[in-house]
Structure 1
Amino acid sequence: MSSRRDFLQMLLAASATPWLPDVSAATTTNTDGEPMAWYNWSGALKAKPRHRAAPKTIEALQALVRDSRDTIRPVGSSHSFAPLVPTDGTLVSLSHFNGLQSVDEPQMRATIGAGTRLEQIGQPLADAGQALVNMPDIDEQSLAGTIATATHGTGAGLPCLSDQVTALTLVDGRGEVHRCSADHNRDLFDAARVGLGALGLVTSVTLQNRRPYRLRRVTEWHPIEAILDQAEQMADRHRNFEFFYIPFSGMGFMDWQDITEEPLSSTESLDQNEGARTLRTVRDMLGWSPRLRELALGTYMKTIDRSERVAPAWRNYASSRQVRFNEMEYHLPREAGLPALRAVRRKVEKDFPDVFFPFEVRYVKGDDAWLSPFYRQDSMSIAVHRVHDEPHDALFRAVEPILRQHGGRPHWGKMHSLTAAEARALYPRWEDFQAVRRTMDPEGRFLNEHLRRLFAEGTS
């Protein structure tokens, strides 16, 4: 163990992270009177909104919508890589719509403020005798943003978090309040569960939960071909299963979780942030020789021990992501996933020797929300990353056609180049969503430039 640590320490290098302004800050201008810039988490997106607001009540939110003449866009944790937030109009933070609002014990449901971060949900739900059915692996996102973009965890039998929604409350483009569920205002409900922030400003979400539970999480490192050979069986065998492919290493690791009654425990595990920095250092040192790079990484990775952790589910799902990146993710029909990943691997290792950031592969059950990328499709999700301070455009342009050719639909919160015509062909209920959107927001108050293009509504 000590020799492995010494080897890791030798390869580690500092990775600077740029300071990014807090989007929820009350200050809206710099000292010279210019609008203060907004950045997303990775720093790739920037905007200078004329106004920022953080209403404390639903009445104040209604008044803001009625009185504003600007484009209005909601902002949460700014963890979207797609330009859903940027506007030169008004940014609205829902941070005051926060926390556990009510609990329905018999039905095992809870209503939660839409501005609540996922990391703020686990303990209050546990105290109320409930737990989320599943969670994404980044818990800094707001609940509203998670729902709006169909953000997901992993599990072949588990849908994205939007599918756990049983009711929503939102304010439309006229400032009117709407409540919807499977039994009330069903068309709005089916549209709003994945609404891209284009139907209104969501203020509360009711989720279908379950009793609290523990998960046993296991991580193992293997040659990537061995992982690909058993991935389908592992996905069917375990409640939560995902794997990572490490470019130019010949290796990857599998991560799976199952419900257990075992006592809380953990073994030493490799810090993912240190791991990303290590990969970058090896790339910088040995990028001139792909074979030597693979030999060094493969030798090191074979020394990494299997790790295990038993913890309450909400503590086990999330991973800390301190090394910033940009990301493209596509959701493919499950049967097309592995052929697509093999094609992506060939393309990357042929044409992109600078790439080092791991690619993530997850499984998601299909659902019936109109704009869900998982609409009536059990999926394999393939996420391609590039560290935040290195160019990502060429890599994403090369990989995206492969994922599209295999029937993929993009994650709405990740980078993609989908056009209105392409989206219409991918989503059977696209026009139904459009009809609901125009009813909820007839003047296009919630459409920024990106959404106007996507919905073929012209540009602002």
Structure 2
Amino acid sequence: MNKDPHLYPLRHTHNTDQDSALWNWAQNTVVGQRNQLQQPQNEAELQQLLRAANGKVRVLGSRLSPGRMLGVHEQDLLLDLSAFNGVIAHDADSVTFAAGTPLEQVYSQLTEMDRMLASSPGVIAVQTLAGAMATGTHGQGLAQSSLADEALRIRMVLADGSVRELVRGEPDFAAAQVSLGTLGIVTAVTLRTRPFRLFTCHKFAVSADTLEQDLVAWNQQYEMSKAWWFVDDNLMHVWNAHEASEAESQAWYANQREVIEHGDDTDSSLNETIDQTLAQMHRDTQIHGKGGKQFRTVTRFRDFTDISGDIYQLFCRGIAVPQINVEIGVPLEKTPQIISKIKAWYAENHPHMHYPIILRCTGASEAWLSPAYQHATCFFGFVVYYADDGSLSEDGLHFLTEVEKLLAAEGGRPHWGKYYDPQRYQWRDIYPQWDAFHEVRNQLDPQRRFSNDYVTALFD
């Protein structure tokens, strides 16, 4: 049984497509009723809806976030902005996208233009652009930060139906970059771009004995770095990427712009660890045989090899599977001592490992509510997949809870779009601009139209 149904709700496994209730993507929370959902086709219709509605308003996006972020009361309004899609304008250095454009479409259209973003992509590309920005979605690499840090202009419709375009350099722009949907309804975002480049990703397995030093070194030496920590086996699986050579680029183009695998020999050194991890996941999820997509997130580490491709082919590799996902960012300078504390805690308690710890680092963010605000940051990610009956592994959840306690005590900031225990955080202590954000919210939404129980508990 699940010990904390508020933080980690059970998943309903029946088909909800015909329900009058509207569920979040993971089907673990009802966010409202289908008759509350409106789908404006353009900005004028959105303005009219806001002027006519009396209750609270929330945007659903792709519904990947925990249901508590999205849910409204029965008199309130839910918005689907899927009609706000595609490229609106572009010039040599920027592209303006409609806010409801899925990230996979953003990436593919930029690639067609021979452009790319400076920010490394988040792993799940079905997120909408505005939703990914609002929750602080990020990739990996100290030379970049969150997706929101690439915004030049953010256009939104305010509570009274008026339109405001916030521009980089304005005093309140940093509030709008990561806003949790509390300032207005974003309709368009202008992103700065750079010339398209290709990358080669080196993959290897190594002992975690010196992870405290190695993690920082990898991130300093490579443009992008991502690592998975198999704590039970004291092993790391690491992806380090740098710009591809001319020969590697030519091979990619000759291969119809598909990923190039290097070498005929693959590395099997992680295979035994992968088999053990899969066995644990099968026991935890009560899924027998090969199972579903959640197992592919681990099996891809078997018999690995270096690859070359574009940044989205290499790093936008997430497989969307219902899960409890906790991710906490801590200042990079604290990361070595935190890794040592996790090692000591593990050695003393020998907790059950459901899935490896995911480690990604970014540079400092300008967005006031970004978990990486003002600090180069290391994000520690933890996953527990749902069982077929909608339950969750108690041992897996215990691991999440205990490590979140440790990271929160070190000044960690949780990823807004994932799960976390709000009782562990003193927001004003960890976000220097918390009150400044509150003032911008007072100015743009004094009646608290863009709110719900979650937002009220957070800010009010």
Which TM-score tier does this pair reach, normalised by the shorter chain? 0.7 to 0.9
Structure 2: distance between partners of 1:203 and 1:405: 37
Match of 1:387 among 385, 388, 402: 385
Q: How does 1:165-180 map to 2 (within 5 A)?
A: 165-180=151-166
Q: How many residues align?
A: 410
Q: How does 1:166-315 map to 2 (within 5 A)?
A: 166-183=152-169, 186-260=170-244, 261=246, 262=248, 263-264=251-252, 265-267=260-262, 279-282=277-280, 304-315=302-313
Deviation at 1:224, TM superposition (A): 2.2
Per mean C-alpha deviation after superposition, the further-off stretch among 246-255 and 233-242 is 246-255
**Is the Cα–Cα contact under 8 Å of residues 24 and 67 in structure 2 kept in the other structure?**
no
Distance 1:109 1:381, change over 3 A: same
Does residue 427 in structure 1 map to residue 431 in structure 2? yes
Match of 1:362 among 356, 360, 381: 360
Structure 2 unmatched runs, 5+: 1-10, 253-259, 285-297
Partner amino acid for 1:361? L
**Is the Cα–Cα contact under 8 Å of residues 419 and 454 in structure 1 kept in the other structure?**
no
Deviation at 1:361, TM superposition (A): 0.7
Distance 1:219 1:379, change over 3 A: same
Match of 2:91 among 99, 104, 108: 104
**Is the Cα–Cα contact under 8 Å of residues 355 and 386 in structure 1 kept in the other structure?**
no
Does residue 148 in structure 1 map to residue 134 in structure 2? yes
Q: Deviations over 1:84-105 (max 9, x none)?
A: 1122332211111111111111
**Is the Cα–Cα contact under 8 Å of residues 248 and 356 in structure 1 kept in the other structure?**
no
**Is the Cα–Cα contact under 8 Å of residues 221 and 306 in structure 1 kept in the other structure?**
no
TM-score normalised according to structure 1 size: 0.82
Structure 2: distance between partners of 1:17 and 1:279: 26
Deviation at 1:155, TM superposition (A): 0.3
Partner amino acid for 2:414? P
Q: Deviations over 1:363-393 (max 9, x none)?
A: 1101222112111111111112111231465
Match of 2:414 among 406, 410, 415: 410
Deviation at 1:169, TM superposition (A): 0.3
Does residue 332 in structure 1 map to residue 336 in structure 2? no
Distance 1:140 1:17, change over 3 A: farther
Structure 1 unmatched runs, 5+: 1-15, 23-28, 287-299
Where 1:319 maps in the other structure, the secondary structure is coil
**Is the Cα–Cα contact under 8 Å of residues 31 and 67 in structure 2 kept in the other structure?**
no
Distance 1:210 1:231, change over 3 A: same
Match of 1:135 among 97, 115, 121: 121
Supply the RMSD in Å over aligned alpha carbons: 2.9
Q: Percent identity?
A: 24
Distance 1:173 1:245, change over 3 A: same
Per mean C-alpha deviation after superposition, the further-off stretch among 304-313 and 241-250 is 304-313
**Is the Cα–Cα contact under 8 Å of residues 213 and 259 in structure 1 kept in the other structure?**
yes
Q: Deviations over 1:336-364 (max 9, x none)?
A: 12322332344456547443212111111
**Is the Cα–Cα contact under 8 Å of residues 24 and 65 in structure 2 kept in the other structure?**
no
Q: Deviations over 1:81-128 (max 9, x none)?
A: 3731122332211111111111111xx100011111111112211222
Where 2:188 maps in the other structure, the secondary structure is strand
Partner amino acid for 2:59? P
**Is the Cα–Cα contact under 8 Å of residues 213 and 336 in structure 2 kept in the other structure?**
no
